[in-house]
Structure 1
Amino acid sequence: MKPMTETPSRPYHHGDLKRALLDTAMQMLAEAGGWQFTLREVARRAGVSHSAPYKHFSDKGELLAGLALIGFDRLREELQRAQQALPGGIEAEFDAMAKAYLGFGQGNAALYRLMFGPEVTSATRLHTDPRALSTFEIVVELLERGQSAGIFRKRPVQGQAAACWAQMHGLTLLTLDGLLLPEKVGANAVEAALEALCEGLCC
């Protein structure tokens, strides 16, 4: 009879292969600052067979979409945390959320670019996923409260939310790319831009 041997340790437990692959890919994304890795490389790093990822992801694009959704979850948590830290004041809450958005992008550059990049499978489906929409709805809800309180102008709230998102997204990317040059936009461009955005919303 062969002696019993210890079963090799595995990086995941039965039933959470998908989570193990996403966690591994997220770590690789952060380390490399990009998503040039292949599914085979993710599988190797996770300690599973090269065919294992296809049990949950039809291709690399679907894996990247899974990472992007985790990004939206984390962004939503950051915005909610900013809200809860400054209760009671609509304008202060708006400023805190805007800075939390910028902070998330700066602290998670590769993930942020992935969330809004074309590499995922079906970007339209990604951005209409409930997890992505619920992040956007935080901004919509704040604007609705601001309008009801007479602080923000009465305008179609979806349009206001789109304008806020567009400005915050642009500021985030310009910051990541190092293009908010003092010689061009002044020494306090982010603060000035956020102030202008809030003033444009206010009555």
Structure 2
Amino acid sequence: MTETEERPYHHGSLRDALLSAAERTLRAQGQDELSLRELARQIGVSHAAPRRHFRDRQALLDALAITGFERLGAKLEAAIEAADDVFASRLHDAVGAFVRFATQDAALLELMFSTKHRDGAEEVREAASAAFATLPGLIEQGQAEGLLAAGTSSRAGIVLLATVQGIATLINGGMVEAERLDELVDAAVEQFLRGNRPD
């Protein structure tokens, strides 16, 4: 196959193939190694083909971040829905889902959050908001049941997110063994519930 020949991708599958190849590169080599030309070479299309879907490298990074937030949101929603109606169980499973995603896809998570804060990344920010859309309702359930102090759900959610992000950072940085993930999730949920009890 020459440089200008292309595999017969069906409509939409070239974009998916590029994103899959980009995610593999991100995991193996980091964000700095991502380039549209190299991705085109990897999947066997012309170097110009990726620009049908991504006008430049930043557009590719934004798409990766959006895909990551969509995947994270689906995992959080599935974890909450699969748990029983007991608030502590739903909270525990949501926290566990986030930490597992953050430790299994550390490079992707870093890209997601760094891209979200870039000027002009409105679509990424919208995807991030959608990913965490289930959490305010979960916090409000705890407040309605008298298990969490009344107040804004966003404040409690920020504290919870900071806690679970911290656990993931410690594991990803090798400061804490990955085998302790479940133990740390248990402790984080217990401390969050204790620290946010109504007076």
Q: Is TM-score (shorter-chain normalized) higher than 0.5?
A: yes
Instruction: Kindly indicate which of the two structures has a greater share of residues assigned to helix.
Output: 2
Write the deviation string for residues 68-113 of structure 1: whole angstroms up to 9, x where unpaired: 1111111112112211221210011101110111111111122122
Find out whether 1:157 has 2:177 as its counterpart.
Answer: no
Q: State, as a whole percentage, how many aligned pairs show the same letter.
A: 34
In 2, the alpha carbon distance for the partners of 1:54 and 1:159 equals 41
TM normalised by structure 1 equals 0.81
In 1, the alpha carbon distance for the partners of 2:41 and 2:91 equals 44
In 1, the alpha carbon distance for the partners of 2:87 and 2:156 equals 15
In 1, the alpha carbon distance for the partners of 2:74 and 2:157 equals 18
Q: Which residue in 2 is equivalent to 1:170?
A: 166
Q: Which residue in 2 is equivalent to 1:184?
A: none
**What is the DSSP-based 3-state SS (H/G/I as helix, E as strand, rest coil) of the residue aligned with 2:11?**
coil
Find out whether 1:144 has 2:146 as its counterpart.
Answer: no
Q: Which residue in 2 is equivalent to 1:101?
A: 98
Runs of 4+ in 1 over 3 A off after TM superposition: 118-124, 188-191
Aligned length: 188
In 1, the alpha carbon distance for the partners of 2:44 and 2:15 equals 13
**What is the DSSP-based 3-state SS (H/G/I as helix, E as strand, rest coil) of the residue aligned with 2:132?**
helix
Q: Considering only aligned residues, what root-mean-square deviation do their CA atoms show, in Å?
A: 2.4
In 1, the alpha carbon distance for the partners of 2:91 and 2:15 equals 36
Shifted more, 43-52 versus 90-99: the winner is 43-52
Residues 11 and 47 in structure 1, CA contact (< 8 A), matched pair in contact too: no
In 1, the alpha carbon distance for the partners of 2:56 and 2:161 equals 30
1:155 counterpart letter in structure 2 = G
1:55 and 1:173, CA in 2 relative to 1: closer, same or farther beyond 3 A? same
In 2, the alpha carbon distance for the partners of 1:158 and 1:135 equals 14
Match for 1:87 among 74, 78, 84? 84
2:58 counterpart letter in structure 1 = G
Find out whether 1:195 has 2:190 as its counterpart.
Answer: yes
Q: Quick check: which has more Rg, 1 or 2?
A: 1
1:174 and 1:11, CA in 2 relative to 1: closer, same or farther beyond 3 A? farther
Write the deviation string for residues 152-203 of structure 1: whole angstroms up to 9, x where unpaired: 110111111112112211221121102238xxxxxx5554333212222333
TM normalised by structure 2 equals 0.82
In 1, the alpha carbon distance for the partners of 2:57 and 2:23 equals 13
Structure 1 unmatched runs, 5+: 1-7, 182-187
1:119 and 1:160, CA in 2 relative to 1: closer, same or farther beyond 3 A? closer
Give the CA deviation at 1:127.
4.6
